[in-house]
Amino acid sequence: MTDLPTDQHPPRPVVVAGDANVDLVLRGDVVPRFGQAEQLADSGDLVLGGSASIAASGVARLGVPTTLVARVGADTFGTFTLDALRAAGVDVGAVEVADDEPTGLSVILSTPSDRAILTVPGTIPTLTGERVTRVLDGRGPGLLHVASYFLQPGLARDLPGVLARARAQGWTTSLDTNWDPAETWTGLADVLGELDLLLPNRNELRAIAGALGEPADLDDTELAARLARRGPRVVVKDGADGGWSVGADGVVVRAPGVPVDVVDTTGAGDSFDAGYLAAVACGVDDEQVRVRWATVAGSLSTLGSGGTGRQATRADLDRELAR
């Protein structure tokens, strides 16, 4: 087991940039039937949403100083989002509140094995790279993690320059693109060379690799290795099987998930990101242990509703790593 006491090894700070919104998670009989049919769902929860926000919450809960750079509206959902982030220990001083734009909203129709998401973007697409750079300037170097690339065209357009500047200042850079609603997967060729870490799931891995011209008949690990040779270590979420990572050398490092009775998979990938980023921030050098932090965090998050209902703590990690 690798356990790094924070009093002897202070973790590096993490700055997360991306989406901040609320999620309305519905479970049960959630497949819509039109024709004014009324259905009775089993449960509904209003929770913190947004890949960046869920990841930031997860990193903070693992004892790492965490700042979120995002935008919300001056409305009820914006207040809810900020309160939830503060409760998780996230520094929200870099979250802008827009007077004339609504906070984003996602409605998640969740089953134990899959989910559908309906999103009203609101303030989500309005974050800029200039804003992220201003937050980083003057801070000690740590980890910069960007999420929901395809939901934020302004940030995406600026991102190669933002990442290059951050790396020049000593920051470790990472990206979770999440799914592209337009399914074009464009713009990433200029981003990968400025990344230290790319954190897709298997479907996103294949979509990104295909958009970059990699052959579709290659297996997942070879595709990941080819992406890694473009710049970043590729850390892949593999559902119930846990996760794995590969560098430019093609060596695959795997870690299993934790067997759980799944309640809701919303945000599990973002909590996976949080576990991996926290391990890096805390100075964990063993790649297998880093991936294990990620798989434990991702697995445990499925025990609660929404992405932050049951995020891992350091005690959880210590217990699972000791097994």
Structure tokens at 280: 């890096």
- Tens digits of residue pLDDT in 47-101: 999 999 999 999 999 999 999 999 999 999 999 999 999 999 999 999 999 999 9
Structure tokens at 120: 């009203």
Per the domain annotation, does 27 fall within a domain? no
In whole numbers, what is the pLDDT of the chain averaged over residues? 94
Among 126, 125, 106, residue whose Cα is nearest residue 116: 106
Per-residue pLDDT at 2: 41
Per the domain annotation, does 3 fall within a domain? no
Average pLDDT of span 245-251: 96
Per the domain annotation, does 115 fall within a domain? no
Per the domain annotation, does 112 fall within a domain? no
Residue type, 158: D
Per the domain annotation, does 35 fall within a domain? no
Per the domain annotation, does 110 fall within a domain? no
Among 282, 278, 316, residue whose Cα is nearest residue 296: 316
Specify whether the CB–CB gap between 263 and 276 falls below 8 A. Answer: no
Per-residue pLDDT at 1: 36
Strand partners, 244: 236, 254
Question: What is the span of the domain harbouring residue 183?
Answer: 14-18+51-102+125-321
Per the domain annotation, does 199 fall within a domain? yes
Per-residue pLDDT at 321: 87
Residue type, 17: A
Q: How many domains are there within the chain?
A: 1
Per-residue pLDDT at 322: 87
Per the domain annotation, does 154 fall within a domain? yes
Task: Write the CATH number for 194.
Answer: 3.40.1190.20
pTM: 0.94
Binned at pLDDT 50, 70 and 90, residue 7 comes out as: very low
Instruction: Give the relative orientation of helices 287-301 and 314-321 as an angle to the nearest 10 degrees.
Output: 120
For residue 8, pLDDT beyond 60: no
Distance CA 22, CA 119 (A): 10
Average pLDDT of span 150-163: 97
Provide, rounded to the nearest whole percent, the portion of the chain with pLDDT above 70.
Answer: 98
* 152, 203, 289, 303 alpha-carbon torsion, rounded to 10°: 80
